[in-house]
Amino acid sequence: MPTLRLGSIAPDFEAETTKGPIKFHEWIGDSWAILFSHPEDFTPVCTTELAEVARRAPDFAKRGVKVIGLSASALDLHHKWIVDINEWGKTDVQYPIIADPDRQIATLYDMLDYQDATNVDKKGMPLTVRTVFVIDPKKVIRLTISYPAATGRNFDEILRVIDSLQLADKYKVTTPVNWKQGEDVIVHASVPDADAQKLFPGFVAHKPYLRTTAQPTA
């Protein structure tokens, strides 16, 4: 099947989750969404990640982002593991976690680990890598990141990218290296100077191709 790239439509699917059955596109609705996979339930790095996602629920909500997890473990294990996550993280996992023991969705999204020979289940089947998909309301994939099994994700960075994407969708801007919310942004290269003066009065032209302005807020 074709490789999923930035700009691809996120494949739709039906799945059983800890919050009941879903149809993925229907579940996303008019929101942004994060689909993130983890190798296996009752594993240490994954436990810290899923607890962090639960703690950051207000951050996702204020950006209009729905979050859904996935692993190759069965649904009954998900429910048992959530007890551990909540206890360790002193939190309350409310987002759904997809059960994908047959790897159908992991295969559809190319999430399986073909490199790390240790990232397998007891039957020797490959587990999922730590993949992140950010999907917009049009069901378009806007970001993909894959982490090795040994490395936990940085959700500050994932939120930073969502802030950048949402800002760029609303205004004709891009964001520079290490940009954070509230810092100056870059006037999009497609905007002529005359239009930029109207859209971003007082913008600074460092080079003909590099113009910065305060982050739009209106």
Residue 121, pLDDT score: 54
Are 110 and 76 part of one and the same domain? yes
Please choose, from the candidates 31, 158, 13, 32, the residue with its C-alpha nearest in 3D space to the C-alpha of residue 98: 13
Residue tagged active-site, from 34, 46, 98, 134:
46
Are 90 and 194 part of one and the same domain? no
Residue 110, pLDDT score: 85
Which of 112, 127, 153 finishes a domain?
153
Q: What CATH number has the domain bearing residue 21?
A: 3.40.30.10
Are 185 and 101 part of one and the same domain? no
Are 186 and 110 part of one and the same domain? no
Are 26 and 82 part of one and the same domain? yes
- Would you say the pTM of this structure is higher than 0.85? yes
Q: What CATH number has the domain bearing residue 201?
A: 3.30.1020.10
Distance between CA atoms of 218 and 211, rounded to whole angstroms? 20
> What is the residue range of 109's domain?
14-153
46 is catalytic: yes
Distance between CA atoms of 175 and 178, rounded to whole angstroms? 8
Please choose, from the candidates 12, 15, 85, 8, the residue with its C-alpha nearest in 3D space to the C-alpha of residue 43: 85
Are 57 and 128 part of one and the same domain? yes
Are 192 and 107 part of one and the same domain? no
pLDDT per residue as tens, the chain (218 positions): 458 999 999 999 999 999 999 999 999 999 999 999 988 899 899 999 999 999 999 999 999 999 999 988 899 999 999 999 999 999 999 999 999 988 889 889 988 755 555 555 556 555 667 899 999 999 999 999 988 878 899 999 999 999 999 999 999 999 999 999 999 999 999 999 999 999 999 999 999 999 999 999 86
Distance between CA atoms of 190 and 135, rounded to whole angstroms? 24
Q: Give the DSSP letter string of 113-134.
A: -SS-TTSB-TTSPBPB-EEEEE
Are 93 and 200 part of one and the same domain? no
Are 99 and 193 part of one and the same domain? no
Structural domain count, the chain:
2
